[in-house]
Amino acid sequence: MASAESRRDSAAAAIEGRAFQVVYQPIVELDGGRVVGVEALSRFRDGRPPARWFTEVEQLGLAAPLDLAILETALADVDLLPDGYISLNVSPSTLLEPRLIDLLCADGVPTDRLVVEITEHAPVLNYGHTRVALETLRAKGVRLAVDDAGAGYATFRHVLRLRPDIIKMDQSITQHINEDPARLALATALVIFAGEIGATVIAEGVETPSELAALQSAGVSRAQGFVLARPQSPPLALPGDGHVHGPVDTVEPAMDLAPALPPWAERAERSDGAVSTTAHALLSPVGSIDIALELLRRKTSELGADECVALIGSAQRQVRIVGGALQDMMRGRAANLVSLDGVCRSGPEPLPAATADSQRAS
């Protein structure tokens, strides 16, 4: 077994020799299929998985040199990438490296297009120093993303301390979300949480159209994964341009997405972007109200107050009608909602007579 010193020398030589390739995976807005950005990812020439590389260099004290080498390569590709932002993965220890700020804020670097994505390869040891570094970058227009929320070191406390602009939902939540109500509930809760702190949620590792549909029903607005596009070298073939995006070193058969977008990307020709954006913003408070009502219903049910339970149930139905209407508006379709008094095409369950009488009396 190689000594730590020889392993460090070998890793340092690989970094110096740029023994890696940077590829880019598109990040797609689910309401319409527009590409809003790309994430820069690394592939190493020795074939070892990236996670093993980053874990090893962290242990050897070489995380910063590797991160900086990858960032330099990605920044050199900016002009070859589509419009939108570039998400750059950075270890927590690298954030405290002065050369990072010098690199990202150098003359000619489009800081307004950069997102620093804090990886889960190691914990943040000093949040105070980390926040100082991040504020310096944010003052230059760089945004912050927290990777793999819901797994590893990316706990909710971690998110609260950093207050990111973007929260990347871990693939352990997104995969099979269409088959698991618990995952769907967790995704919805994360969207609501993100709305409270003004962040955008991006689902990672999405592999099927059914997962995309479930994520959009939970209020997730952006995603990345093999079902949308695989990581690739520039120039990138983007979703909707007539190609399936295979691995960097392979060629996949073509698939024409232009004539008929999948259901998750449906959008009416007359859709108003401002209306869609507003509808998505309203989904978060509507979801919060629904959760609060459910908790209240359970507590009230324990007390045996049947009329109150029925009234809360009616309010929940109305909230869900509004939520469904907002989702229709996001997709550019006519909202399935007539009024907020419980009258809708789907027909909510009528209130018990005693409850209805008490409402009229009030």
pLDDT: which is higher, 338 or 226:
226
Reported as a pLDDT band with limits 50, 70 and 90, residue 283 is low
Evaluate whether residue 72 is within a structural domain. yes
The pLDDT value recorded for residue 24 is 97
Cα dihedral 260, 263, 268, 271 in deg (nearest 10): -130
Contacts of 361 (CB under 8 A, 6+ apart): none
Task: Examine the domain organization and report whether 42 and 160 are in the same domain.
Answer: yes
Evaluate whether residue 236 is within a structural domain. yes
Task: Examine the domain organization and report whether 142 and 47 are in the same domain.
Answer: yes
Domain with residue 231: its CATH number is 3.20.20.450
Task: Examine the domain organization and report whether 110 and 258 are in the same domain.
Answer: yes
Domain boundary among 220, 245, 265: 265
Highest mean pLDDT among 91-95, 264-268, 276-280, 326-330 belongs to: 91-95
Least confident range of 158-172, 264-278, 324-338: 264-278
Task: Examine the domain organization and report whether 312 and 210 are in the same domain.
Answer: no
The pLDDT value recorded for residue 117 is 95
pLDDT: which is higher, 19 or 291:
19
pLDDT digits (tens, 9 = 90+) for 163-207: 999 999 989 899 999 999 888 888 888 887 888 788 999 999 999
Domain count, the chain: 2
The pLDDT value recorded for residue 103 is 97
Evaluate whether residue 298 is within a structural domain. yes
Task: Examine the domain organization and report whether 285 and 238 are in the same domain.
Answer: no
Check whether 272 has a pLDDT greater than 70.
Answer: no
Evaluate whether residue 217 is within a structural domain. yes
Reported pTM: 0.70
pLDDT digits (tens, 9 = 90+) for 33-58: 899 999 999 999 999 999 899 989 99
Task: Examine the domain organization and report whether 208 and 287 are in the same domain.
Answer: no
pLDDT digits (tens, 9 = 90+) for 104-146: 999 999 999 999 999 766 788 889 999 999 999 999 999 999 9
Evaluate whether residue 326 is within a structural domain. yes
Evaluate whether residue 361 is within a structural domain. no
Q: Interior CA angle at 18 toward 16 and 25, to 5°?
A: 140
Reported as a pLDDT band with limits 50, 70 and 90, residue 360 is very low
CA distance 102 to 89: 16
pLDDT: which is higher, 51 or 320:
51
pLDDT: which is higher, 150 or 117:
117
pLDDT: which is higher, 353 or 97:
97
Domain boundary among 240, 265, 290: 265
Closest by CA position to 225, among listed 68, 8, 50, 26: 26
Its domain, for residue 329, covers 274-356
Least confident range of 130-139, 146-155, 306-315: 146-155
Task: Examine the domain organization and report whether 252 and 301 are in the same domain.
Answer: no
Reported as a pLDDT band with limits 50, 70 and 90, residue 274 is low
Check whether 160 has a pLDDT greater than 80.
Answer: yes
Residue 307 Cα to chain centre, angstroms: 41
Task: Examine the domain organization and report whether 146 and 230 are in the same domain.
Answer: yes
The number of beta carbons lying within 10 Å of the beta carbon of residue 8 is 17
pLDDT: which is higher, 119 or 80:
80
**Pairing of β 20-29 and β 114-118:** unpaired
Find the mean pLDDT for residues 152-161.
Answer: 71
DSSP secondary structure letter of residue 232: B
Least confident range of 208-212, 239-243, 245-249: 245-249
The pLDDT value recorded for residue 275 is 65
Task: Examine the domain organization and report whether 94 and 232 are in the same domain.
Answer: yes
Check whether 352 has a pLDDT greater than 50.
Answer: no
pLDDT: which is higher, 221 or 358:
221
Tell me what percent of the residues of the chain surpass a pLDDT of 90.
45
Evaluate whether residue 362 is within a structural domain. no
Task: Examine the domain organization and report whether 161 and 39 are in the same domain.
Answer: yes
Closest by CA position to 89, among listed 73, 67, 111, 109: 67
Task: Examine the domain organization and report whether 245 and 281 are in the same domain.
Answer: no
Task: Examine the domain organization and report whether 144 and 8 are in the same domain.
Answer: yes
Domain boundary among 239, 265, 291: 265
The pLDDT value recorded for residue 257 is 33
The number of beta carbons lying within 10 Å of the beta carbon of residue 99 is 13
Check whether 356 has a pLDDT greater than 80.
Answer: no
Closest by CA position to 203, among listed 169, 178, 233: 169
CA distance 40 to 62: 19
Token pair for 127: 């949040």
